[in-house]
Chains A and B, each alone.
Chain A
Amino acid sequence: DVKVTQSSRYLVKRTGEKVFLECVQDMDHENMFWYRQDPGLGLRLIYFSYDVKMKEKGDIPEGYSVSREKKERFSLILESASTNQTSMYLCASSLSDQGKNTEAFFGQGTRLTVV
Protein backbone atom coordinates (compact mmCIF):
# COMPACT_ATOMS: atom_id res chain seq x y z
CA ASP A 1 0.00 0.00 0.00
CA VAL A 2 1.19 3.45 -0.96
CA LYS A 3 2.54 5.51 1.93
CA VAL A 4 3.66 9.08 2.45
CA THR A 5 4.50 9.80 6.07
CA GLN A 6 4.98 13.19 7.66
CA SER A 7 6.93 13.24 10.90
CA SER A 8 4.43 15.25 12.97
CA ARG A 9 0.67 15.75 12.90
CA TYR A 10 0.72 18.85 15.10
CA LEU A 11 3.56 21.24 15.88
CA VAL A 12 3.76 24.46 17.90
CA LYS A 13 6.86 26.61 17.46
CA ARG A 14 7.95 30.07 18.57
CA THR A 15 8.59 32.99 16.25
CA GLY A 16 12.18 32.97 15.05
CA GLU A 17 12.75 29.24 15.59
CA LYS A 18 14.17 27.06 12.84
CA VAL A 19 11.59 24.40 11.98
CA PHE A 20 12.10 21.11 10.16
CA LEU A 21 9.20 19.23 8.59
CA GLU A 22 10.11 15.74 7.42
CA CYS A 23 8.43 13.60 4.79
CA VAL A 24 9.19 10.04 3.78
CA GLN A 25 7.65 7.99 0.96
CA ASP A 26 8.02 4.27 0.40
CA MET A 27 6.94 4.11 -3.25
CA ASP A 28 10.30 4.86 -4.90
CA HIS A 29 8.76 7.99 -6.45
CA GLU A 30 11.03 10.47 -8.17
CA ASN A 31 8.88 13.55 -7.57
CA MET A 32 8.15 15.04 -4.17
CA PHE A 33 6.24 18.18 -3.27
CA TRP A 34 5.56 20.48 -0.34
CA TYR A 35 2.25 22.39 -0.26
CA ARG A 36 0.55 24.54 2.30
CA GLN A 37 -3.20 24.70 2.65
CA ASP A 38 -4.93 27.83 3.91
CA PRO A 39 -8.67 28.61 4.06
CA GLY A 40 -9.92 30.08 0.80
CA LEU A 41 -6.54 29.66 -0.89
CA GLY A 42 -6.49 25.93 -1.61
CA LEU A 43 -3.18 24.11 -1.90
CA ARG A 44 -0.23 26.26 -2.86
CA LEU A 45 3.08 24.75 -3.93
CA ILE A 46 6.12 25.78 -1.91
CA TYR A 47 8.85 23.63 -3.44
CA PHE A 48 9.14 20.45 -5.43
CA SER A 49 11.92 18.02 -6.28
CA TYR A 50 12.15 15.70 -9.26
CA ASP A 51 15.30 13.91 -8.20
CA VAL A 52 17.77 13.58 -5.36
CA LYS A 53 19.52 16.89 -4.63
CA MET A 54 17.31 18.64 -7.20
CA LYS A 55 14.77 21.28 -6.21
CA GLU A 56 12.50 23.77 -7.90
CA LYS A 57 10.69 26.75 -6.42
CA GLY A 58 6.93 26.64 -6.43
CA ASP A 59 4.55 29.56 -6.14
CA ILE A 60 5.39 30.64 -2.58
CA PRO A 61 9.01 29.69 -1.71
CA GLU A 62 9.84 32.79 0.34
CA GLY A 63 10.82 31.95 3.91
CA TYR A 64 11.29 28.26 3.12
CA SER A 65 14.06 25.97 1.95
CA VAL A 66 14.14 22.24 1.21
CA SER A 67 16.53 19.34 1.28
CA ARG A 68 16.47 16.07 -0.63
CA GLU A 69 19.55 14.01 0.19
CA LYS A 70 17.84 10.65 -0.32
CA LYS A 71 15.16 9.65 -2.81
CA GLU A 72 12.62 8.72 -0.16
CA ARG A 73 12.98 11.82 2.04
CA PHE A 74 12.05 15.44 1.39
CA SER A 75 12.48 18.00 4.16
CA LEU A 76 10.93 21.44 4.41
CA ILE A 77 12.82 24.00 6.48
CA LEU A 78 11.47 27.22 7.89
CA GLU A 79 14.65 29.19 8.51
CA SER A 80 13.05 31.62 10.97
CA ALA A 81 9.43 30.82 11.68
CA SER A 82 6.90 33.64 11.54
CA THR A 83 3.24 33.78 12.51
CA ASN A 84 2.15 34.00 8.86
CA GLN A 85 3.62 30.55 8.36
CA THR A 86 0.96 29.06 10.61
CA SER A 87 -0.74 26.63 8.25
CA MET A 88 -1.43 23.02 7.28
CA TYR A 89 1.62 21.62 5.46
CA LEU A 90 1.15 18.75 3.04
CA CYS A 91 3.82 16.57 1.49
CA ALA A 92 3.14 14.57 -1.67
CA SER A 93 4.97 12.30 -4.06
CA SER A 94 4.38 11.08 -7.58
CA LEU A 95 5.96 8.76 -10.09
CA SER A 96 7.87 10.25 -12.96
CA ASP A 97 6.75 8.23 -15.94
CA GLN A 98 7.93 9.44 -19.33
CA GLY A 99 4.95 10.35 -21.43
CA LYS A 100 2.45 9.35 -18.79
CA ASN A 101 0.68 11.34 -16.15
CA THR A 102 0.39 9.90 -12.67
CA GLU A 103 -1.39 11.06 -9.57
CA ALA A 104 0.21 12.53 -6.47
CA PHE A 105 -0.12 10.76 -3.12
CA PHE A 106 -0.33 12.88 -0.01
CA GLY A 107 0.79 12.50 3.57
CA GLN A 108 -1.57 13.11 6.47
CA GLY A 109 -0.47 16.72 6.89
CA THR A 110 1.28 18.71 9.62
CA ARG A 111 -0.68 21.45 11.36
CA LEU A 112 1.98 24.02 12.30
CA THR A 113 1.20 26.86 14.67
CA VAL A 114 3.78 29.62 15.14
CA VAL A 115 3.27 31.68 18.29
Chain B
Amino acid sequence: DQQVKQNSPSLSVQEGRISILNCDYTNSMFDYFLWYKKYPAEGPTFLISISSIKDKNEDGRFTVFLNKSAKHLSLHIVPSQPGDSAVYFCAASAIGNQFYFGTGTSLTVIP
Protein backbone atom coordinates (compact mmCIF):
# COMPACT_ATOMS: atom_id res chain seq x y z
CA ASP B 1 0.00 0.00 0.00
CA GLN B 2 1.33 3.41 -1.00
CA GLN B 3 2.38 5.29 2.14
CA VAL B 4 3.18 8.48 0.27
CA LYS B 5 0.76 9.72 -2.36
CA GLN B 6 0.88 12.40 -4.99
CA ASN B 7 -2.60 12.51 -6.49
CA SER B 8 -1.86 14.94 -9.32
CA PRO B 9 0.20 13.27 -12.06
CA SER B 10 0.69 16.58 -13.87
CA LEU B 11 0.47 20.34 -13.41
CA SER B 12 0.82 23.24 -15.87
CA VAL B 13 1.59 26.76 -14.71
CA GLN B 14 2.39 30.04 -16.45
CA GLU B 15 5.88 31.43 -16.02
CA GLY B 16 6.01 33.86 -13.10
CA ARG B 17 3.04 32.32 -11.31
CA ILE B 18 3.05 30.08 -8.25
CA SER B 19 3.32 26.29 -8.60
CA ILE B 20 1.82 24.24 -5.77
CA LEU B 21 2.58 20.54 -5.62
CA ASN B 22 0.82 18.40 -3.05
CA CYS B 23 1.63 15.22 -1.20
CA ASP B 24 -0.20 13.11 1.38
CA TYR B 25 1.14 10.41 3.66
CA THR B 26 -0.42 7.78 5.86
CA ASN B 27 2.29 6.73 8.32
CA SER B 28 2.30 8.86 11.46
CA MET B 29 5.82 7.62 12.28
CA PHE B 30 7.32 9.66 9.44
CA ASP B 31 9.29 12.56 10.83
CA TYR B 32 11.27 13.83 7.87
CA PHE B 33 9.94 14.90 4.51
CA LEU B 34 11.77 15.75 1.32
CA TRP B 35 11.15 16.98 -2.20
CA TYR B 36 13.21 15.83 -5.17
CA LYS B 37 13.30 17.12 -8.71
CA LYS B 38 13.96 14.80 -11.63
CA TYR B 39 14.74 15.45 -15.27
CA PRO B 40 14.33 12.66 -17.84
CA ALA B 41 17.25 10.19 -17.97
CA GLU B 42 18.80 11.67 -14.82
CA GLY B 43 18.72 10.75 -11.16
CA PRO B 44 16.57 12.76 -8.73
CA THR B 45 18.22 15.76 -7.12
CA PHE B 46 17.41 16.88 -3.62
CA LEU B 47 15.47 20.13 -3.44
CA ILE B 48 14.28 20.88 0.07
CA SER B 49 13.33 19.07 3.25
CA ILE B 50 11.38 19.63 6.44
CA SER B 51 11.46 18.01 9.84
CA SER B 52 8.23 17.15 11.61
CA ILE B 53 9.02 19.68 14.35
CA LYS B 54 8.52 22.48 11.82
CA ASP B 55 5.58 23.52 9.69
CA LYS B 56 7.44 25.56 7.10
CA ASN B 57 10.87 25.62 5.50
CA GLU B 58 11.97 28.09 2.87
CA ASP B 59 14.90 28.10 0.46
CA GLY B 60 14.87 30.83 -2.15
CA ARG B 61 11.93 30.32 -4.48
CA PHE B 62 11.01 27.02 -2.82
CA THR B 63 8.90 26.64 0.33
CA VAL B 64 7.66 23.42 1.85
CA PHE B 65 4.67 23.41 4.19
CA LEU B 66 3.82 20.57 6.53
CA ASN B 67 0.40 19.99 8.10
CA LYS B 68 0.90 17.07 10.48
CA SER B 69 -2.70 16.81 11.58
CA ALA B 70 -3.80 16.43 7.97
CA LYS B 71 -0.72 14.33 7.05
CA HIS B 72 -0.18 16.65 4.13
CA LEU B 73 2.73 18.56 2.71
CA SER B 74 3.05 20.90 -0.19
CA LEU B 75 5.83 22.49 -2.22
CA HIS B 76 5.40 26.07 -3.40
CA ILE B 77 7.57 27.44 -6.18
CA VAL B 78 7.33 31.17 -6.73
CA PRO B 79 7.92 32.60 -9.20
CA SER B 80 7.86 29.55 -11.48
CA GLN B 81 10.44 29.43 -14.25
CA PRO B 82 10.62 27.27 -17.42
CA GLY B 83 13.69 25.53 -15.99
CA ASP B 84 11.50 24.26 -13.16
CA SER B 85 9.74 21.94 -15.63
CA ALA B 86 10.50 18.44 -14.32
CA VAL B 87 8.97 15.61 -12.34
CA TYR B 88 8.77 16.31 -8.60
CA PHE B 89 8.76 13.50 -6.06
CA CYS B 90 7.93 13.85 -2.42
CA ALA B 91 9.47 11.41 0.03
CA ALA B 92 9.16 10.60 3.70
CA SER B 93 11.17 8.70 6.24
CA ALA B 94 11.43 7.88 9.90
CA ILE B 95 14.84 8.24 11.57
CA GLY B 96 17.18 5.45 10.57
CA ASN B 97 14.72 4.00 8.15
CA GLN B 98 14.21 3.85 4.42
CA PHE B 99 12.77 6.61 2.24
CA TYR B 100 9.27 6.18 0.82
CA PHE B 101 8.51 8.04 -2.40
CA GLY B 102 5.33 9.23 -4.05
CA THR B 103 4.51 8.56 -7.69
CA GLY B 104 5.59 12.00 -8.85
CA THR B 105 3.99 15.12 -10.35
CA SER B 106 5.14 16.33 -13.75
CA LEU B 107 5.34 20.13 -13.68
CA THR B 108 5.30 22.13 -16.91
CA VAL B 109 6.02 25.85 -16.71
CA ILE B 110 4.74 27.60 -19.82
CA PRO B 111 6.81 30.58 -21.00
Interface residues of A (CB under 8 A from B): 4, 9, 33, 35, 40-45, 48, 50, 56, 58, 90, 92, 94, 96, 99-101, 103-109, 111
Contacts and interface: CB of A to CB of B under 8 A. Distances in A.
Mostly, the A contact residues are strand
Contact of A33 (B45, B51, B99, B103): B99
Contacts, number: 59
A103 B95 contact: no
B101 to A, nearest CB: 4
Contacts of B9: 40
A50 B44 CA distance: 21
Contact of B99 (A40, A41, A96, A104): A104
A96 B43 contact: no
Counting chain A CB atoms within 10 Å of each CB, the highest count among B98, B100, B102 belongs to B98
Contact of A40 (B98, B100, B103): B103
Nearest to B45: A106
A108 B42 contact: yes
Interface in B1-51: 6, 9, 31-32, 34, 36, 41-46, 49, 51
B96 interface: yes
Contacts of A9: 41
B98 A43 contact: no
A42 B101 contact: yes
Contacts of A104: 34, 46, 91, 99
Contact of A99 (B43, B46, B95): B95
A94 B45 CA distance: 13
A41 B89 CA distance: 11
Counting chain B CB atoms within 10 Å of each CB, the highest count among A43, A108, A111 belongs to A43
Interface in B34-81: 34, 36, 41-46, 49, 51
A106 B38 CA distance: 10
A111 B41 contact: yes
A90 B46 contact: no
Nearest to A99: B95
A15 B69 CA distance: 48
Contacts of B99: 33, 45, 92, 94, 104
